[in-house]
Each structure stands twice: as C-alpha cells, then as structure tokens.
Amino acid sequence: MDIKKILFRTNSIDVEKALPDALVLCGKDGKIQWVNDAAAEIFETSKMHLLTSNIADFIENPMNLIYNSIAMHRPIITKFTGKEAYFDMTVKEIDEGFVLDFRDAVPPAPPVQTEDVDTVNREKNNFLIKLANDFKAPIQSIVGFSQAMADGLGGEMSEQQEKYIRIINKNSTDLMYFVGKLLELSQTESCLSKAENKTFDVSSLVSSVVRFNEQLFKGKDVKISISQDENFKKTISSDENILKNILQDLLEVILKAVDMGDIDIHLSNPAEEFIASKNLAPAQYTLISLSSTSLLLSENDLECMFDPYKIVDSNNRKNVLRAIVLASVKNLVQSLNGNVWVESKILKNTSFNVLIPS
C-alpha cells in the first residue's frame, strides 16, 4: 500500500515530515492498516503491534468519535483506553477508511470541588445583596427626577425634551425592575429565604395578590378569576410571605406578557398518585395553577424556562428577565419543599403550577 498516494494522491511529498505528529490509517472496521513512528510513540507500543490491532484497542468509543468529528468538521478530544491520556483527533475520510491525526495533548480538567463552588456562589450572592442599595439608589434617583421633570416640576420643556425624558423614565424604571429581580434571585440562591410556617387561609392570600396587581392589568382586556375544587381545604400550614412572593412573581410574569384573555387561578388538593408522579414525599398538598389563554409558549421557550444561566447563551435571550423571575420562584418553592412546573397546550393555554405541602 502506498500511503503517500492515499494521503496526497502524489508521490512527491515525504509523508513523515509533511504531516503532523501522529498518523493512523484504519479501515471502516477499525483495523489499523498503517501508522507512522509518532503514532507508535503516543500509543506506547511498536508499529508491528499496532498493525495487528484495531483502533478500538487503544481509544474509547472510536467509531462514534470518528463520525462525530467528520460530522462537526473539527477535531474532537479523544481518551486513550486504560490511561489518563487525551489528544485532539482530526479525521479525514477516504475510500480506504479513515486517516486519524492525533496532536496537542489535552490535559484532563481538574476535578471540581462542588462544596467550594457552592461556597463561592453563596458568597457572591451575599455580596450582591449587601450592595443592593448601592445598585438601586442611583437608578431610583433617575426614575424619580425624570418623573418629576415629565410632570413639569422642572419647568417648561420642548416637545422633543419631554419625549427624551419619558424615554429615560421608562428605561430607568425597567432597569430598576430588572435589578430588583436579579437581587431577588441572588437572595433565593443564598438560601436566605427560610420558611417560617404558620396557619393561614390560602384562598384569601390568592385574592389579596390579585387585588394588589390590579394596576398591572388595568387598561388591559384581561379577566382574572379564582376557582377551587369543591372539597378544597383552604387552611394550610406554610410560609405565607414566601407563598405570596411566589404568586406575585408568577402573576407578574403572565400579566407582563399578555394584553388580553382570561387568567384562571385554580386551587386543589391533588391525589396521592399525582404527588408520587412529582417525586414528592407522601403528604397533604395544595396545588395552585395559574392558567392564561393568551400566553402560548413554544418548546424553545419551555427549554430554559427556569434557567437564566442557560437562556442567556441561547437564541431565546430576550426572555432572560422572565427566566430570572421564574428561577427565583423555583428556589422559593423548593424552600417550601414543593415543586413548580409549566405546561403549555397548543391553541389552549399555558399554566404555571405550584405544588406545596399543606
């Protein structure tokens, strides 16, 4: 076999010198047909031994890696069997099989100490919370003074100046909301929201949250209704303030996304089989579902719904604020030993579901 013809379709180049460090030619079945001296060195065996072997004897899952490298048109990290040795493998497919080019040893990443990472994250979040006023105070000044100027307290303004002031006021108000929700997420991630259970009427709590948000849907063609199962147990033992924050955030998410339609808040006590399906300990639970007929979500929306860290790197980045709010909701629900999830039914509705022990 003339390897120079296979690789270059010419006899005029010295393959040993022209190509990178380690080369292996193997057939479609993985049987090694040719190697150079550098390949024998990195595999730590003789060329004769290599020529009587299969590439699977030296590399973990070789054929999967080979086809992945071809499909992605780039090198792929390869681990040698039985030892902590890593190399970048580039693959060229030819009629006779595959030319494998190994180079640039890649050292394995050091093991991540989970406890250390958790500690750093908590310290970072505590740092942000302590600086909350330093973040908010300048923005509050911009919001306040721009609103005062828009109301005419700073004197007469031209139409153009008034337009600019209102833009400043709107954007600074949006920024204030964003910073507030970001700090709220930091607080929930720092495990600072400790549940303090007491007995209260959950139906009354839901009604008070709806009344508090009347300004958000005032002027919109939105109707909010509250319903419950016939034998629903209104009195529960949980943290009323945490649950109030959860419902407030979920209702805000819906109201900021819709201008019309119906929002139904339904309360129920699900059966034991349903509780088991959510991997929760057997107990009495309260399920609160907030459904909107106008908020319809795609699979892409649902993928990173509760994860702002993933959504910021996705094509769905415009919804990062929603993901921040929902991440806080998830953390708060978990502090109540509950579960939260979202369901979207095509051409029907989207529902946010909160399941907590009663």
Are residues 118 and 38 both part of a single domain? no
Q: How far apart, in whole angstroms, are the C-alpha atoms of residue 138 and residue 147?
A: 14
φ, ψ at 71 (rounded to 5°): -65, -35
Q: What pLDDT does 218 receive? A: 74
Chain-centroid distance of CA 147 in Å reads 36
Same domain, 205 and 353: yes
Among 62-66, 101-105, 237-241, top mean pLDDT goes to 237-241
Gap between the Cα atoms of 227 and 230, Å rounded: 9
Q: What is the predicted pLDDT for the residue at 264?
A: 92
- Tell me which of 189, 208, 241 is where a domain ends: 189
Q: What is the mean pLDDT of residues 276-286?
A: 82
Dihedral sign for Cα 8, 14, 20, 24, please: positive
Cα–Cα distance for residue pair 171/3, rounded to 1 Å: 66
Mean pLDDT of 283-296: 88
Contact status, residue 50 vs residue 38, Cβ threshold 8 Å: no
- The enclosing H or E element of 220 equals none
Within this chain, do residues 299 and 344 fall inside the same structural domain, yes or no?
Answer: yes
- Asked whether residue 11 falls in the same domain as residue 78, the answer is yes
Is 90 exceeded by the pLDDT of residue 222?
Answer: no
- Considering only 14-18, 139-143, 183-187, 275-279, which range has the smallest mean pLDDT? 14-18
Q: What is the percentage of the chain residues whose pLDDT exceeds 90?
A: 18
CATH number at 11 reads 3.30.450.20
What confidence score (pLDDT) does residue 4 get?
47
Calculate mean pLDDT across residues 95-122: 67
**What does the buried/exposed string (b/e) look like for 194-208 if buried means 16 or more CB atoms within 10 Å of the residue's CB?**
eeeeeebebbebbee
Q: What is the model's pLDDT at position 107?
A: 55
Say what the pLDDT of residue 220 is: 83
Residues 232 and 320 in one domain: yes
Residue 334 exposed, middle or buried by CB count within 10 Å (0-12, 13-18, 19+): middle
Q: Tell me the CATH number at 268.
A: 3.30.565.10
Top-confidence residue, 235 or 123: 235
Residue 174, token pair as written in the block: 């949006």
Give the domain extent around 260.
198-357
Same-domain check for residues 99 and 125: no
**Cα–Cα dist 135/180, whole Å:** 9
Which range is most confident: 16-30, 218-232, 239-253? 239-253
127 and 9 part of one domain:
no
Co-location of 203 and 349 in the same domain? yes
Q: Of 54, 83, 105, which one is at a domain's C-terminal end?
A: 105
Give the model confidence (pLDDT) of 156-211 as tens digits: 888 898 899 999 998 988 888 888 888 888 878 776 567 788 999 999 999 999 88
Whether residue 128 sits in one domain with residue 50: no
Mean pLDDT of 33-42: 87
Region 315-332 average pLDDT: 82
- The pLDDT tens digits of the residues spanning 258-278 come to 888 888 999 999 888 888 887
Residue that terminates a domain, selected from 59, 83, 105: 105
User: Residue range 333-347: average pLDDT?
Assistant: 86
Distance separating alpha carbons of residues 358 and 356, to the nearest angstrom: 6
Q: What is the mean pLDDT of residues 229-234?
A: 89
Q: Name the pLDDT band for 110 (thresholds 50, 70, 90).
A: low
**Count of structural domains within the chain:** 3
Task: State residue 121's pLDDT score.
Answer: 65
- Comparing 263 with 9, which gets the higher pLDDT? 263
Q: Say yes or no: 164 and 293 in one domain.
A: no
The span from the CA of 92 to the CA of 240, in Å, is 63
Residue 5 has pLDDT above 60, yes or no: no
Q: Are residues 208 and 330 in the same domain?
A: yes
Separation CA 326–CA 138 (nearest Å): 26
Predicted confidence (pLDDT) at residue 9 exceeds the cutoff of 60: no
CA distances to 32, 177, 307 from 316, rounded to whole Å, are 46, 20, 12
**What's the chain's average pLDDT?**
81
* Same domain flag for 80 and 127: no
Per-residue pLDDT, averaged over 22-29, amounts to 89
